[in-house]
């Protein structure tokens, strides 16, 4: 039993519309965070330095945890400070819970 063209279009068009919507939102998030130079979605092309000691980030990144693997950033080899891909220090969840 073959589907006619109208039934096929009723399935394909909403899927194409959903894909276009998701890609548009994703593109907006990447551009927004790249322009404001903070957030998870942007792309940083500038050199990054440790916010505590000024040590440059390694050229070849070796993530130490899942957050670094997914969103970028690293841990300073010199002082042990964890920072994001923009060079801003990252607070641990334990420190955040202790402040509350």
pLDDT tens per residue, range 37-96:
988 999 998 999 999 998 999 888 889 989 999 998 999 988 989 999 999 998 865 555
**What's the confidence (pLDDT) of residue 58?**
87
Global pTM?
Answer: 0.70
d(CA 68, CA 8): 42
d(CA 32, CA 39): 9
**What's the confidence (pLDDT) of residue 10?**
87
d(CA 19, CA 69): 25
Burial classification of residue 86, based on how many CB atoms lie within 10 Å of its CB (0-12 exposed, 13-18 middle, 19 or more buried): middle
In this structure, what is the dihedral angle of CA atoms 89, 84, 67, 82, given to the nearest 10 degrees? -40
């Amino acid at each position: 039993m073959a589907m006619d063209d109208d039934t096929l279009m009723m399935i394909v068009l909403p899927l194409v519309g959903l894909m276009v919507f998701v890609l548009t939102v994703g593109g907006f998030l990447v551009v927004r965070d790249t322009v404001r130079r903070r957030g998870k979605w942007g792309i940083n092309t500038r050199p990054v330095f440790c916010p505590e000691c000024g040590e440059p980030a390694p050229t070849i990144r070796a993530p130490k945890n899942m957050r670094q693997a997914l969103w970028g950033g690293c841990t300073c080899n010199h002082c042990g400070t964890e920072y994001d891909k923009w060079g801003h220090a990252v607070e641990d969840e334990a420190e955040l819970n202790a402040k509350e």
